[in-house]
Structure 1
Amino acid sequence: MKKITVLFLSALTITMTSSAAFAQQQDSDFSAKQRQEIGKIAADYLRKHPQILVQVSQELQKQQQQQQQQQMVSAAVQSSSNLMDVKGIPHIGPKNAKVTVTEFFDYQCYYCHHMAPVIEKLMKANPKVQFIFRDWPIFASRWENSARAATVGLQVWHDKGAASYIKYHNGIFATNHDEGKLTQTDIKTVAKAAMGKTLKLAKDDAYKNTIMKNDALARQIGFQGTPGFIVMPAKGANAENTAVIGGAVPLQALQQAIDNAKK
Protein backbone atom coordinates (compact mmCIF):
# COMPACT_ATOMS: atom_id res chain seq x y z
CA MET A 1 0.00 0.00 0.00
CA LYS A 2 2.86 2.35 0.82
CA LYS A 3 4.44 1.76 -2.58
CA ILE A 4 1.14 2.52 -4.34
CA THR A 5 0.76 5.71 -2.33
CA VAL A 6 4.23 6.84 -3.34
CA LEU A 7 3.37 6.19 -6.98
CA PHE A 8 0.15 8.17 -6.58
CA LEU A 9 2.03 11.13 -5.19
CA SER A 10 4.64 10.89 -7.93
CA ALA A 11 1.98 10.85 -10.61
CA LEU A 12 0.12 13.73 -8.98
CA THR A 13 3.32 15.77 -8.70
CA ILE A 14 4.01 15.27 -12.40
CA THR A 15 0.44 16.21 -13.26
CA MET A 16 0.55 19.35 -11.11
CA THR A 17 3.97 20.34 -12.45
CA SER A 18 2.82 19.93 -16.03
CA SER A 19 -0.34 21.93 -15.30
CA ALA A 20 1.67 24.74 -13.73
CA ALA A 21 4.01 24.89 -16.70
CA PHE A 22 1.08 24.96 -19.07
CA ALA A 23 -0.54 27.76 -17.07
CA GLN A 24 2.61 29.86 -17.19
CA GLN A 25 2.74 29.48 -20.96
CA GLN A 26 -0.86 30.62 -21.25
CA ASP A 27 -0.59 33.88 -19.26
CA SER A 28 -1.71 35.91 -22.23
CA ASP A 29 -4.79 33.69 -22.77
CA PHE A 30 -6.06 33.23 -19.20
CA SER A 31 -6.41 35.64 -16.35
CA ALA A 32 -5.37 34.72 -12.81
CA LYS A 33 -9.01 34.15 -11.89
CA GLN A 34 -9.55 31.91 -14.91
CA ARG A 35 -6.47 29.85 -14.10
CA GLN A 36 -7.72 29.49 -10.53
CA GLU A 37 -11.08 28.22 -11.80
CA ILE A 38 -9.37 25.75 -14.14
CA GLY A 39 -7.34 24.38 -11.23
CA LYS A 40 -10.45 24.05 -9.08
CA ILE A 41 -12.32 22.20 -11.83
CA ALA A 42 -9.37 19.82 -12.29
CA ALA A 43 -9.05 19.18 -8.54
CA ASP A 44 -12.80 18.56 -8.18
CA TYR A 45 -12.74 16.16 -11.12
CA LEU A 46 -9.86 14.16 -9.64
CA ARG A 47 -11.65 13.91 -6.31
CA LYS A 48 -14.74 12.56 -8.02
CA HIS A 49 -12.75 10.24 -10.29
CA PRO A 50 -9.80 8.94 -8.20
CA GLN A 51 -9.37 6.00 -10.58
CA ILE A 52 -7.58 8.43 -12.89
CA LEU A 53 -4.73 8.63 -10.38
CA VAL A 54 -4.55 4.84 -10.38
CA GLN A 55 -4.35 4.80 -14.18
CA VAL A 56 -1.68 7.50 -14.18
CA SER A 57 0.39 5.66 -11.56
CA GLN A 58 0.11 2.38 -13.47
CA GLU A 59 1.24 4.04 -16.67
CA LEU A 60 4.12 5.73 -14.86
CA GLN A 61 5.21 2.40 -13.36
CA LYS A 62 5.01 0.74 -16.77
CA GLN A 63 7.18 3.45 -18.31
CA GLN A 64 9.74 3.13 -15.51
CA GLN A 65 9.91 -0.65 -15.95
CA GLN A 66 10.36 -0.29 -19.70
CA GLN A 67 13.13 2.24 -19.19
CA GLN A 68 14.88 0.00 -16.67
CA GLN A 69 14.59 -2.95 -19.04
CA GLN A 70 16.12 -0.95 -21.89
CA GLN A 71 18.99 0.10 -19.64
CA MET A 72 19.68 -3.51 -18.64
CA VAL A 73 19.65 -4.72 -22.23
CA SER A 74 22.02 -1.91 -23.18
CA ALA A 75 24.33 -2.85 -20.30
CA ALA A 76 24.26 -6.52 -21.33
CA VAL A 77 25.18 -5.65 -24.92
CA GLN A 78 28.03 -3.44 -23.70
CA SER A 79 29.20 -6.29 -21.44
CA SER A 80 28.89 -8.97 -24.13
CA SER A 81 32.64 -9.63 -24.31
CA ASN A 82 32.75 -10.26 -20.55
CA LEU A 83 29.65 -12.43 -20.70
CA MET A 84 31.21 -14.53 -23.47
CA ASP A 85 34.45 -14.95 -21.49
CA VAL A 86 33.69 -18.29 -19.83
CA LYS A 87 37.16 -19.19 -18.62
CA GLY A 88 36.59 -20.87 -15.26
CA ILE A 89 32.81 -20.50 -15.67
CA PRO A 90 30.67 -23.66 -15.97
CA HIS A 91 29.06 -23.89 -19.39
CA ILE A 92 27.21 -26.62 -21.23
CA GLY A 93 26.76 -26.86 -24.99
CA PRO A 94 28.80 -26.46 -28.17
CA LYS A 95 31.76 -24.07 -28.10
CA ASN A 96 30.72 -22.61 -31.45
CA ALA A 97 27.10 -22.03 -30.39
CA LYS A 98 25.49 -19.04 -32.05
CA VAL A 99 23.21 -18.35 -29.07
CA THR A 100 23.99 -18.30 -25.36
CA VAL A 101 21.83 -18.35 -22.25
CA THR A 102 23.53 -17.01 -19.13
CA GLU A 103 22.00 -17.58 -15.71
CA PHE A 104 23.06 -15.79 -12.54
CA PHE A 105 21.87 -17.99 -9.70
CA ASP A 106 22.12 -18.85 -6.00
CA TYR A 107 21.74 -22.40 -4.71
CA GLN A 108 19.66 -21.11 -1.80
CA CYS A 109 17.31 -18.98 -3.93
CA TYR A 110 13.71 -20.21 -3.86
CA TYR A 111 13.03 -19.01 -7.40
CA CYS A 112 16.24 -20.58 -8.72
CA HIS A 113 14.99 -23.91 -7.35
CA HIS A 114 11.68 -23.28 -9.10
CA MET A 115 13.46 -22.56 -12.41
CA ALA A 116 15.92 -25.48 -12.30
CA PRO A 117 13.61 -28.06 -13.96
CA VAL A 118 12.54 -25.40 -16.46
CA ILE A 119 16.17 -24.86 -17.46
CA GLU A 120 16.68 -28.62 -17.76
CA LYS A 121 13.80 -28.80 -20.24
CA LEU A 122 15.11 -25.75 -22.09
CA MET A 123 18.55 -27.33 -22.44
CA LYS A 124 17.11 -30.56 -23.84
CA ALA A 125 15.03 -28.60 -26.36
CA ASN A 126 18.02 -26.48 -27.47
CA PRO A 127 21.13 -28.69 -27.84
CA LYS A 128 22.82 -26.14 -30.12
CA VAL A 129 22.61 -23.38 -27.50
CA GLN A 130 25.35 -22.82 -24.95
CA PHE A 131 24.16 -22.47 -21.35
CA ILE A 132 26.44 -20.52 -19.01
CA PHE A 133 26.03 -20.83 -15.25
CA ARG A 134 27.35 -17.92 -13.17
CA ASP A 135 27.29 -18.46 -9.42
CA TRP A 136 25.99 -15.39 -7.60
CA PRO A 137 25.48 -16.42 -3.95
CA ILE A 138 23.70 -13.27 -2.81
CA PHE A 139 22.31 -15.07 0.25
CA ALA A 140 25.75 -16.08 1.57
CA SER A 141 25.65 -13.50 4.34
CA ARG A 142 22.48 -15.14 5.63
CA TRP A 143 23.18 -18.79 4.82
CA GLU A 144 26.79 -19.95 4.70
CA ASN A 145 26.04 -22.93 2.45
CA SER A 146 24.95 -20.58 -0.29
CA ALA A 147 28.62 -19.74 -0.88
CA ARG A 148 29.88 -23.22 0.01
CA ALA A 149 27.67 -24.87 -2.59
CA ALA A 150 28.89 -22.37 -5.17
CA THR A 151 32.60 -22.96 -4.54
CA VAL A 152 32.15 -26.74 -4.47
CA GLY A 153 30.31 -26.55 -7.78
CA LEU A 154 33.15 -24.58 -9.33
CA GLN A 155 35.64 -27.16 -8.08
CA VAL A 156 33.55 -29.98 -9.56
CA TRP A 157 33.63 -28.08 -12.87
CA HIS A 158 37.39 -27.57 -12.63
CA ASP A 159 38.18 -31.15 -11.63
CA LYS A 160 35.69 -33.21 -13.65
CA GLY A 161 34.18 -31.02 -16.37
CA ALA A 162 30.74 -30.40 -17.81
CA ALA A 163 29.06 -33.81 -17.31
CA SER A 164 29.87 -33.98 -13.60
CA TYR A 165 29.11 -30.31 -13.07
CA ILE A 166 25.59 -30.47 -14.47
CA LYS A 167 24.90 -33.54 -12.28
CA TYR A 168 26.04 -31.56 -9.26
CA HIS A 169 24.18 -28.41 -10.31
CA ASN A 170 20.87 -30.17 -10.87
CA GLY A 171 21.49 -32.44 -7.88
CA ILE A 172 21.73 -29.51 -5.47
CA PHE A 173 18.47 -28.09 -6.76
CA ALA A 174 16.86 -31.55 -6.64
CA THR A 175 17.32 -31.60 -2.86
CA ASN A 176 14.63 -28.90 -2.68
CA HIS A 177 16.59 -27.48 0.25
CA ASP A 178 16.37 -23.77 -0.37
CA GLU A 179 16.34 -20.67 1.86
CA GLY A 180 18.77 -21.96 4.47
CA LYS A 181 17.76 -25.62 4.41
CA LEU A 182 20.76 -26.82 2.37
CA THR A 183 23.28 -28.64 4.58
CA GLN A 184 26.96 -29.50 4.26
CA THR A 185 25.92 -33.15 4.12
CA ASP A 186 23.69 -32.35 1.12
CA ILE A 187 26.62 -30.69 -0.65
CA LYS A 188 29.06 -33.55 0.05
CA THR A 189 26.54 -36.21 -0.93
CA VAL A 190 25.60 -34.53 -4.22
CA ALA A 191 29.25 -33.80 -5.05
CA LYS A 192 30.23 -37.43 -4.44
CA ALA A 193 27.40 -38.67 -6.65
CA ALA A 194 28.41 -36.26 -9.41
CA MET A 195 32.13 -37.04 -9.30
CA GLY A 196 31.99 -40.73 -8.45
CA LYS A 197 34.27 -40.15 -5.47
CA THR A 198 34.51 -38.11 -2.31
CA LEU A 199 35.46 -34.53 -3.07
CA LYS A 200 38.60 -33.25 -1.40
CA LEU A 201 38.14 -29.54 -1.00
CA ALA A 202 40.99 -27.48 -2.39
CA LYS A 203 41.80 -23.88 -1.53
CA ASP A 204 38.87 -21.91 -2.85
CA ASP A 205 40.54 -18.52 -3.38
CA ALA A 206 40.33 -18.82 -7.17
CA TYR A 207 36.67 -19.79 -6.97
CA LYS A 208 35.94 -16.86 -4.69
CA ASN A 209 37.55 -14.56 -7.25
CA THR A 210 35.31 -16.04 -9.94
CA ILE A 211 32.25 -15.39 -7.79
CA MET A 212 33.38 -11.80 -7.16
CA LYS A 213 33.68 -11.26 -10.91
CA ASN A 214 30.19 -12.68 -11.40
CA ASP A 215 28.91 -10.32 -8.71
CA ALA A 216 30.46 -7.29 -10.40
CA LEU A 217 29.06 -8.33 -13.78
CA ALA A 218 25.55 -8.94 -12.43
CA ARG A 219 25.48 -5.54 -10.75
CA GLN A 220 26.88 -3.85 -13.84
CA ILE A 221 24.00 -5.22 -15.88
CA GLY A 222 21.51 -4.16 -13.22
CA PHE A 223 20.20 -7.39 -11.71
CA GLN A 224 18.78 -6.93 -8.24
CA GLY A 225 18.21 -10.59 -7.41
CA THR A 226 18.32 -14.16 -8.63
CA PRO A 227 17.70 -15.78 -10.96
CA GLY A 228 18.75 -13.46 -13.74
CA PHE A 229 18.89 -14.57 -17.38
CA ILE A 230 20.60 -13.06 -20.42
CA VAL A 231 19.81 -14.54 -23.81
CA MET A 232 21.95 -13.20 -26.65
CA PRO A 233 23.93 -14.18 -29.74
CA ALA A 234 27.52 -15.19 -29.08
CA LYS A 235 28.50 -12.58 -31.68
CA GLY A 236 26.74 -9.50 -32.98
CA ALA A 237 24.58 -8.84 -29.93
CA ASN A 238 22.40 -5.74 -30.05
CA ALA A 239 19.29 -4.33 -28.40
CA GLU A 240 17.00 -6.17 -30.83
CA ASN A 241 18.39 -9.70 -30.41
CA THR A 242 19.26 -9.58 -26.69
CA ALA A 243 16.91 -10.27 -23.79
CA VAL A 244 17.48 -9.67 -20.09
CA ILE A 245 15.00 -11.50 -17.88
CA GLY A 246 14.80 -11.33 -14.11
CA GLY A 247 13.02 -13.76 -11.82
CA ALA A 248 11.04 -16.92 -12.42
CA VAL A 249 9.41 -16.98 -15.87
CA PRO A 250 7.64 -19.58 -18.02
CA LEU A 251 9.73 -21.78 -20.30
CA GLN A 252 8.00 -20.16 -23.28
CA ALA A 253 9.45 -16.75 -22.40
CA LEU A 254 13.01 -18.07 -22.47
CA GLN A 255 12.37 -20.08 -25.63
CA GLN A 256 11.01 -17.00 -27.35
CA ALA A 257 14.14 -15.09 -26.36
CA ILE A 258 16.31 -17.87 -27.79
CA ASP A 259 14.36 -17.88 -31.05
CA ASN A 260 14.72 -14.12 -31.30
CA ALA A 261 18.47 -14.30 -30.71
CA LYS A 262 18.80 -16.75 -33.61
CA LYS A 263 17.42 -14.25 -36.14
Structure 2
Amino acid sequence: MLAVKRTALAMLMTSALLSGMANAAEKATPVFTPEQEARIGEIAKDYLLAHPEVLVEVSQKLQAQQQEKQQQAMTAAVIQHQAALLNDKGTPSYGPADAKVTVVEFFDYQCIYCARLAPELEKVIKANPGIRFVFKELPIFASRWPASLTAAKTGLQIYQQKGSEAYLQYHNAMYATGHNEGKLTDADITAAAKAVKLDVKTAPDVQGTLEGIGALAQQLGFSGTPALVIMPSSGASADNMTVIPGFTDGETLNAAIQKAAGGIR
Protein backbone atom coordinates (compact mmCIF):
# COMPACT_ATOMS: atom_id res chain seq x y z
CA MET A 1 0.00 0.00 0.00
CA LEU A 2 2.86 2.38 0.83
CA ALA A 3 4.47 1.73 -2.55
CA VAL A 4 1.19 2.51 -4.29
CA LYS A 5 0.85 5.77 -2.40
CA ARG A 6 4.45 6.73 -3.20
CA THR A 7 3.91 5.97 -6.88
CA ALA A 8 0.71 7.97 -7.05
CA LEU A 9 2.30 10.90 -5.25
CA ALA A 10 5.32 10.81 -7.54
CA MET A 11 3.15 10.78 -10.64
CA LEU A 12 1.07 13.66 -9.30
CA MET A 13 4.05 15.75 -8.38
CA THR A 14 5.86 15.07 -11.65
CA SER A 15 2.90 16.51 -13.50
CA ALA A 16 2.73 19.45 -11.13
CA LEU A 17 6.43 20.17 -11.37
CA LEU A 18 6.38 20.12 -15.18
CA SER A 19 3.22 22.09 -15.81
CA GLY A 20 2.11 23.92 -12.71
CA MET A 21 5.00 25.09 -10.56
CA ALA A 22 5.39 28.33 -12.46
CA ASN A 23 1.83 29.27 -11.56
CA ALA A 24 2.30 28.17 -7.97
CA ALA A 25 5.39 30.32 -7.65
CA GLU A 26 3.34 33.40 -8.42
CA LYS A 27 0.99 32.85 -5.49
CA ALA A 28 1.63 34.79 -2.31
CA THR A 29 1.11 31.77 -0.01
CA PRO A 30 3.42 28.74 -0.57
CA VAL A 31 1.60 25.51 -1.41
CA PHE A 32 4.16 23.37 0.45
CA THR A 33 6.69 23.98 3.20
CA PRO A 34 10.35 23.82 2.21
CA GLU A 35 10.64 20.46 3.97
CA GLN A 36 7.63 19.09 2.08
CA GLU A 37 8.98 20.37 -1.23
CA ALA A 38 12.33 18.69 -0.56
CA ARG A 39 10.65 15.38 0.29
CA ILE A 40 8.36 15.58 -2.74
CA GLY A 41 11.39 16.22 -4.93
CA GLU A 42 13.12 13.12 -3.56
CA ILE A 43 10.05 10.96 -4.19
CA ALA A 44 9.60 12.31 -7.70
CA LYS A 45 13.31 11.82 -8.49
CA ASP A 46 13.29 8.23 -7.22
CA TYR A 47 10.18 7.41 -9.21
CA LEU A 48 11.47 8.97 -12.44
CA LEU A 49 14.77 7.13 -12.15
CA ALA A 50 12.84 3.88 -11.80
CA HIS A 51 10.32 4.79 -14.53
CA PRO A 52 12.01 7.00 -17.18
CA GLU A 53 9.16 6.23 -19.60
CA VAL A 54 7.09 8.74 -17.65
CA LEU A 55 9.36 11.55 -18.84
CA VAL A 56 8.95 10.39 -22.43
CA GLU A 57 5.18 10.40 -22.04
CA VAL A 58 5.16 13.86 -20.48
CA SER A 59 7.51 15.18 -23.17
CA GLN A 60 5.27 13.82 -25.92
CA LYS A 61 2.25 15.41 -24.31
CA LEU A 62 3.96 18.79 -24.02
CA GLN A 63 5.10 18.57 -27.65
CA ALA A 64 1.56 17.76 -28.76
CA GLN A 65 0.25 20.76 -26.79
CA GLN A 66 2.85 23.03 -28.38
CA GLN A 67 1.98 21.78 -31.86
CA GLU A 68 -1.71 22.35 -31.19
CA LYS A 69 -1.02 25.93 -30.07
CA GLN A 70 1.12 26.51 -33.16
CA GLN A 71 -1.63 25.12 -35.37
CA GLN A 72 -4.22 27.39 -33.76
CA ALA A 73 -1.95 30.42 -34.20
CA MET A 74 -1.37 29.65 -37.89
CA THR A 75 -5.09 29.13 -38.47
CA ALA A 76 -5.90 32.46 -36.85
CA ALA A 77 -3.22 34.15 -38.97
CA VAL A 78 -4.64 32.63 -42.15
CA ILE A 79 -8.08 34.00 -41.33
CA GLN A 80 -6.56 37.43 -40.69
CA HIS A 81 -4.54 37.42 -43.93
CA GLN A 82 -6.83 35.47 -46.24
CA ALA A 83 -7.15 38.39 -48.65
CA ALA A 84 -3.37 38.40 -49.21
CA LEU A 85 -3.45 34.64 -49.67
CA LEU A 86 -6.19 34.69 -52.27
CA ASN A 87 -6.14 38.03 -54.07
CA ASP A 88 -2.53 38.83 -55.01
CA LYS A 89 -2.71 39.19 -58.80
CA GLY A 90 1.04 38.73 -59.16
CA THR A 91 0.96 35.30 -57.54
CA PRO A 92 0.48 32.34 -59.91
CA SER A 93 -2.86 30.58 -59.79
CA TYR A 94 -4.54 27.85 -61.79
CA GLY A 95 -8.21 26.98 -61.98
CA PRO A 96 -11.50 28.86 -62.06
CA ALA A 97 -11.41 32.40 -60.70
CA ASP A 98 -14.83 31.77 -59.11
CA ALA A 99 -13.87 28.43 -57.53
CA LYS A 100 -15.52 27.75 -54.20
CA VAL A 101 -12.37 26.18 -52.73
CA THR A 102 -8.75 27.32 -52.98
CA VAL A 103 -5.55 25.38 -52.26
CA VAL A 104 -2.50 27.54 -51.52
CA GLU A 105 1.02 26.10 -51.51
CA PHE A 106 4.22 27.79 -50.33
CA PHE A 107 7.16 25.95 -51.90
CA ASP A 108 10.77 26.00 -53.09
CA TYR A 109 11.93 24.13 -56.19
CA GLN A 110 15.04 22.99 -54.30
CA CYS A 111 13.06 21.58 -51.34
CA ILE A 112 13.12 17.78 -51.43
CA TYR A 113 9.77 17.50 -49.63
CA CYS A 114 8.20 19.90 -52.12
CA ALA A 115 9.60 17.68 -54.87
CA ARG A 116 8.02 14.61 -53.27
CA LEU A 117 4.72 16.42 -52.94
CA ALA A 118 4.74 17.73 -56.54
CA PRO A 119 3.47 14.57 -58.30
CA GLU A 120 0.78 14.14 -55.64
CA LEU A 121 -0.35 17.72 -56.09
CA GLU A 122 -0.33 17.31 -59.88
CA LYS A 123 -2.77 14.40 -59.53
CA VAL A 124 -4.98 16.42 -57.18
CA ILE A 125 -5.08 19.31 -59.67
CA LYS A 126 -6.14 16.99 -62.50
CA ALA A 127 -8.79 15.33 -60.32
CA ASN A 128 -10.26 18.67 -59.16
CA PRO A 129 -10.84 20.95 -62.18
CA GLY A 130 -13.27 23.09 -60.18
CA ILE A 131 -10.69 23.99 -57.52
CA ARG A 132 -8.35 26.99 -57.68
CA PHE A 133 -4.69 26.39 -56.87
CA VAL A 134 -2.42 29.25 -55.81
CA PHE A 135 1.38 28.85 -55.96
CA LYS A 136 3.42 30.95 -53.55
CA GLU A 137 7.06 30.94 -54.67
CA LEU A 138 9.11 30.92 -51.44
CA PRO A 139 12.81 30.34 -52.26
CA ILE A 140 14.01 29.71 -48.72
CA PHE A 141 17.14 27.93 -49.97
CA ALA A 142 18.28 30.83 -52.14
CA SER A 143 21.24 31.68 -49.91
CA ARG A 144 22.51 28.13 -50.22
CA TRP A 145 21.55 27.38 -53.81
CA PRO A 146 21.15 30.42 -56.11
CA ALA A 147 19.07 28.39 -58.60
CA SER A 148 16.31 28.40 -55.97
CA LEU A 149 15.85 32.16 -56.43
CA THR A 150 16.35 32.07 -60.19
CA ALA A 151 13.69 29.39 -60.61
CA ALA A 152 11.24 31.27 -58.40
CA LYS A 153 11.70 34.57 -60.26
CA THR A 154 11.41 32.82 -63.63
CA GLY A 155 8.19 31.14 -62.56
CA LEU A 156 6.64 34.45 -61.54
CA GLN A 157 7.76 36.09 -64.79
CA ILE A 158 6.21 33.27 -66.83
CA TYR A 159 2.92 33.57 -65.00
CA GLN A 160 2.72 37.34 -65.34
CA GLN A 161 3.76 37.28 -69.00
CA LYS A 162 2.27 34.03 -70.34
CA GLY A 163 -0.53 33.06 -67.95
CA SER A 164 -1.69 30.06 -65.93
CA GLU A 165 -1.24 27.24 -68.44
CA ALA A 166 2.33 28.23 -69.23
CA TYR A 167 3.12 28.62 -65.55
CA LEU A 168 1.80 25.19 -64.60
CA GLN A 169 3.78 23.63 -67.45
CA TYR A 170 6.95 25.32 -66.19
CA HIS A 171 6.16 24.43 -62.57
CA ASN A 172 5.75 20.75 -63.34
CA ALA A 173 8.82 20.77 -65.59
CA MET A 174 10.99 22.05 -62.74
CA TYR A 175 10.07 19.10 -60.56
CA ALA A 176 10.21 16.66 -63.48
CA THR A 177 13.96 17.31 -63.70
CA GLY A 178 14.37 15.44 -60.42
CA HIS A 179 16.97 18.05 -59.50
CA ASN A 180 16.55 19.33 -55.95
CA GLU A 181 18.73 20.08 -52.93
CA GLY A 182 21.30 21.98 -54.98
CA LYS A 183 21.09 19.93 -58.17
CA LEU A 184 18.84 22.30 -60.16
CA THR A 185 20.84 24.13 -62.84
CA ASP A 186 20.46 27.31 -64.84
CA ALA A 187 20.22 25.09 -67.92
CA ASP A 188 17.18 23.33 -66.39
CA ILE A 189 15.49 26.67 -65.77
CA THR A 190 16.32 28.07 -69.19
CA ALA A 191 15.04 24.97 -70.98
CA ALA A 192 11.73 25.03 -69.10
CA ALA A 193 11.33 28.77 -69.75
CA LYS A 194 12.04 28.36 -73.46
CA ALA A 195 9.47 25.56 -73.66
CA VAL A 196 6.74 28.05 -72.72
CA LYS A 197 8.29 30.84 -74.83
CA LEU A 198 9.15 33.29 -72.08
CA ASP A 199 10.42 36.54 -73.60
CA VAL A 200 13.32 37.32 -71.30
CA LYS A 201 13.81 40.81 -72.76
CA THR A 202 10.33 41.91 -71.72
CA ALA A 203 10.08 39.81 -68.55
CA PRO A 204 8.46 41.79 -65.70
CA ASP A 205 10.16 42.77 -62.46
CA VAL A 206 8.87 40.31 -59.84
CA GLN A 207 11.02 41.29 -56.86
CA GLY A 208 8.10 43.01 -55.13
CA THR A 209 5.94 39.93 -55.52
CA LEU A 210 8.65 37.71 -54.04
CA GLU A 211 9.15 40.02 -51.09
CA GLY A 212 5.40 40.12 -50.47
CA ILE A 213 5.22 36.33 -50.44
CA GLY A 214 8.11 36.13 -47.99
CA ALA A 215 6.49 38.66 -45.67
CA LEU A 216 3.18 36.80 -45.84
CA ALA A 217 4.85 33.50 -44.95
CA GLN A 218 6.34 35.12 -41.85
CA GLN A 219 2.98 36.58 -40.86
CA LEU A 220 1.41 33.13 -41.12
CA GLY A 221 4.16 31.49 -39.07
CA PHE A 222 5.46 29.36 -41.96
CA SER A 223 9.17 28.77 -41.42
CA GLY A 224 9.69 26.04 -44.01
CA THR A 225 8.37 24.43 -47.16
CA PRO A 226 6.09 22.99 -48.21
CA ALA A 227 3.25 24.70 -46.36
CA LEU A 228 -0.35 24.45 -47.52
CA VAL A 229 -3.66 26.10 -46.81
CA ILE A 230 -6.90 24.53 -48.03
CA MET A 231 -9.86 26.83 -47.53
CA PRO A 232 -13.17 28.11 -48.91
CA SER A 233 -12.52 31.00 -51.28
CA SER A 234 -14.78 33.10 -49.07
CA GLY A 235 -16.06 32.67 -45.55
CA ALA A 236 -13.04 30.72 -44.30
CA SER A 237 -13.05 29.79 -40.62
CA ALA A 238 -11.17 27.50 -38.26
CA ASP A 239 -13.87 24.89 -38.80
CA ASN A 240 -13.70 24.67 -42.59
CA MET A 241 -10.03 25.22 -43.41
CA THR A 242 -6.92 23.08 -43.09
CA VAL A 243 -3.39 24.34 -42.53
CA ILE A 244 -0.59 21.85 -43.25
CA PRO A 245 2.88 23.15 -42.29
CA GLY A 246 4.86 20.38 -43.93
CA PHE A 247 4.78 17.39 -46.25
CA THR A 248 1.47 15.67 -46.91
CA ASP A 249 -0.09 13.31 -49.46
CA GLY A 250 -2.86 13.37 -52.04
CA GLU A 251 -5.35 11.60 -49.82
CA THR A 252 -4.96 14.20 -47.09
CA LEU A 253 -5.26 17.02 -49.61
CA ASN A 254 -8.45 15.60 -51.08
CA ALA A 255 -9.92 15.18 -47.59
CA ALA A 256 -9.07 18.82 -46.82
CA ILE A 257 -10.72 19.93 -50.06
CA GLN A 258 -13.88 18.04 -49.14
CA LYS A 259 -13.81 19.64 -45.68
CA ALA A 260 -13.54 23.11 -47.21
CA ALA A 261 -16.30 22.38 -49.73
CA GLY A 262 -18.54 21.01 -47.00
CA GLY A 263 -18.18 24.19 -44.99
CA ILE A 264 -19.51 26.41 -47.76
CA ARG A 265 -23.05 27.67 -47.29
TM-score by length of structure 2 reads 0.86
Inter-CA distance 132–39: structure 2 relative to 1 (3 Å threshold): same
Quote the offset at 1:52 in angstroms: 0.7
Q: Deviations over 1:102-133 (max 9, x none)?
A: 01111111111111101101111111110001
Letter in 2 for 1:251: G
- Report what 1:259 is aligned to: 258
Aligned mates of 1:91, 1:139 — CA distance in 2: 22
The number of residues matched between the two structures is 247
- Report what 1:163 is aligned to: 165
Match of 1:113 among 115, 123, 127: 115
Inter-CA distance 116–34: structure 2 relative to 1 (3 Å threshold): closer
Letter in 1 for 2:117: M
- Report what 1:122 is aligned to: 124
Q: Deviations over 1:167-198 (max 9, x none)?
A: 11100110011111111111111111123xx6
- Report what 1:244 is aligned to: 243
- Report what 1:61 is aligned to: 63
Displaced runs of 4+ in structure 1, greater than 2 A?
A: 11-27, 32-43, 198-204
Inter-CA distance 138–58: structure 2 relative to 1 (3 Å threshold): same
- Report what 2:77 is aligned to: 75
State whether structure 2 residue 27 is matched by structure 1 residue 24: no
SS at match of 2:45: helix
Match of 1:145 among 130, 133, 147: 147
Unaligned runs of at least 5 residues, structure 2: 1-14
Aligned mates of 1:207, 1:67 — CA distance in 2: 35
Q: CA RMSD in A?
A: 2.4
CA contact (8 A) 1:107 1:113 kept: yes
Unaligned runs of at least 5 residues, structure 1: 1-10
- Report what 1:44 is aligned to: 46
SS at match of 1:182: coil
CA contact (8 A) 1:188 1:199 kept: no
Quote the offset at 1:66 in angstroms: 0.6
Aligned mates of 2:206, 2:199 — CA distance in 1: 15
SS at match of 2:70: helix
Q: Alignment identity in percent?
A: 46
Letter in 2 for 1:58: Q
Letter in 2 for 1:135: E
Inter-CA distance 211–12: structure 2 relative to 1 (3 Å threshold): farther
- Report what 2:105 is aligned to: 103
CA contact (8 A) 1:12 1:53 kept: no
Aligned mates of 1:259, 1:158 — CA distance in 2: 30
Quote the offset at 1:89 in angstroms: 1.2
Aligned mates of 1:17, 1:69 — CA distance in 2: 26
SS at match of 2:99: coil
Letter in 2 for 1:87: K
SS at match of 1:37: helix
TM-score by length of structure 1 reads 0.86
- Report what 2:18 is aligned to: 14
Quote the offset at 1:161 in angstroms: 1.0
Aligned mates of 1:159, 1:124 — CA distance in 2: 23
Aligned mates of 2:23, 2:211 — CA distance in 1: 48
